[in-house]
Amino acid sequence: VTPQENVALAPQTTLRVGGPARYFAALEELDDVARALAWAAERDLPVEVLGGGSNVLIADRGLNALVIRVRADRITPLGSGRVDVDAGVCWDAFVAWAVARDEAGVECLSGIPGDVGAAPMQNVGAYGQEVSETIEQVVAIDRLSGEQVVIEADACAFGYRDSVFKHAAAGQYVVVRVRFRLTPGGPAKIVYPELERAIDGDRSLATVRETVVQLRRKKSMVLDERDDNRRSAGSFFVNPTLEPNVFAELQQRVTAELGEDHGLPSYPAVGGLTKVPAAWLIERAGMGKGTRRGNVGISSKHSLAIVNHGRATASELVAFAAEVRRTVRGRFGVTLTAEPRLLGFDSDETRALVD
Ligand SMILES: Cc1cc2nc3c(=O)[nH]c(=O)nc-3n(C[C@H](O)[C@H](O)[C@H](O)COP(=O)(O)OP(=O)(O)OC[C@H]3O[C@@H](n4cnc5c(N)ncnc54)[C@H](O)[C@@H]3O)c2cc1C
């Protein structure tokens, strides 16, 4: 493992902002992970893990760290739908592989950017499916001991855009492999109303995959070099899930602001909570699609995506996201949570996105 020095990170992220990594290493072999961790430990350097860079916002100063990317990319079927997938496999390539073999379980997650190793982090989900439905175990290297550990699905504490890897185990592991349990010959999951409406007759996995990608394309939710909204991290905020009393307060507030026929959408979530679309709140707070402040703005196709129009800095993106958050809170009293991981910032630089 010989890391390169001073490597630009912006081109390795979908937002295309942020400064360089002091050191960077792409690791082709899983054994290299422990070696890279030891290399950093000898130099007292922190380690950051980067996948496809589609859910991170890196500070303009860059990262004074060893940044590693796991590039190992084997897919090893184990029979009966079980499959081991290395962290460096492109997520969508894995979905395509599963669909081509007629193995159900990840078809609705077609078109999500990034690597397999990052998928458990926030329990990626879309169109009524979440990766936690098929993950059997996550294999990782413990960053402190350098030892390989197996984390069974039950211990991953998967929730809506959430897992143990964002909380108790934050920064503890480098994921090197994920074991999935797919369903050979199983039916596609068609439960999301928008997907149900778009599927006409043929309910095969291949059709569902194609339809999901088409739906996503209309919202600039697939990476496409020709798309003006392409420099984003997908949804910048997660949909708030509210306690019953908080949801009742929101309904009152929305009625006061917008009148009786406001049409606030809401969906039941686990634990008696109610999920409200952040996109609706942002639009109704007055920051609709295409809202622009210089180099940054809201995607013209999706009010939850914040885009870099080409020359933005990380600080401009943070300031704009903070404005969106402040505006929603001011109008409706709901505090949005940013979805991308913010890397390399001082706490006072991101306070307006966290407090
Ligand atoms: C256009 C677009 C659409 C999107 N749509 C969706 C969607 O529909 N649903 C959804 O859930 N997400 C969506 N996302 C977000 C993103 O694609 C997912 O979160 C994805 O899993 C991130 O993968 P990545 O490899 O790019 O991770 P990165 O952005 O590189 O990293 C994300 C986090 O995971 C950590 N990480 C990455 N790899 C590892 C590893 N091997 N071990 C330990 N930690 C690791 C990083 O340190 C970081 O904290 C979208 C993003 C974009 C740009």
Q: For residues 6 and 3, what is the distance between their CA atoms, to the nearest angstrom?
A: 10
Measured in Å, residue 256 CA sits from the centre of ligand 1 at 37
Measured in Å, residue 36 CA sits from the centre of ligand 1 at 22
Helices assigned H by DSSP within 51-163: 91-100
Nearest CA to ligand 1 atom 43: 174
Of 340, 190, 328, give the one whose Cα is nearest residue 264: 328
* Contact 126 CB / ligand 1 (< 6 Å): yes
Nearest CA to ligand 1 atom 32: 55
Nearest CA to ligand 1 atom 45: 118
Q: Specify the pLDDT at position 228.
A: 94
Q: Specify the pLDDT at position 1.
A: 81
Ligand 1: nearest atom to the Cα of 173: 43
Q: Specify the pLDDT at position 208.
A: 98
Q: Specify the pLDDT at position 221.
A: 96
Is 161 an active-site residue? yes
Residue 96 CB contacts under 8 Å (≥ 6 apart), including other chains: 110, 209
Q: What is the pLDDT along the chain (355 residues), one digit of tens a residue?
A: 899 999 999 999 999 999 999 999 999 998 999 999 999 999 999 999 999 999 999 999 999 999 999 999 999 999 999 999 999 999 999 999 999 999 999 999 999 999 999 999 999 999 999 999 999 999 999 999 999 999 999 999 999 999 999 999 999 999 999 999 999 999 999 999 999 999 988 999 999 999 999 999 999 999 999 999 999 999 999 999 999 999 999 999 999 999 999 999 999 999 999 999 999 999 999 999 999 999 999 999 999 999 999 999 999 999 999 999 999 999 999 999 999 999 999 999 999 999 8
Cα separation values, 144 from 8, 36, 163, Å:
27, 12, 20
CA dihedral over 210, 222, 236, 303, signed as positive or negative: negative
Cα separation values, 317 from 17, 23, 73, 93, 94, Å:
9, 25, 32, 30, 31
Of 10, 21, 4, give the one whose Cα is nearest residue 62: 21
Is 147 an active-site residue? no
86: which strand partners? 177
Select which of 22, 69, 143, 161 is catalytic: 161
How many CB atoms within 10 Å of residue 131? 24
Q: For residues 143 and 135, what is the distance between their CA atoms, to the nearest angstrom?
A: 22
Q: Specify the pLDDT at position 340.
A: 97
**Any idea what DSSP says for residue 34?**
H
Q: For residues 308 and 131, what is the distance between their CA atoms, to the nearest angstrom?
A: 28
Burial of 127 (C-beta count, 10 Å sphere; 0-12/13-18/19+): buried
Specify the pairing of strand 56-58 against strand 341-343: parallel
* Contact 110 CB / ligand 1 (< 6 Å): no
Q: For residues 57 and 13, what is the distance between their CA atoms, to the nearest angstrom?
A: 8
Q: For residues 218 and 102, what is the distance between their CA atoms, to the nearest angstrom?
A: 26
The angle at the Cα of 331, spanning 329 to 337, to the nearest 5 degrees, equals: 25
* Contact 70 CB / ligand 1 (< 6 Å): yes
Nearest CA to ligand 1 atom 10: 124
- Amino acid identity, residue 82? R
Ligand 1 pocket test: which of 15, 121, 217 has the largest number of ligand atoms within 8 Å of its C-beta? 121
Measured in Å, residue 87 CA sits from the centre of ligand 1 at 12
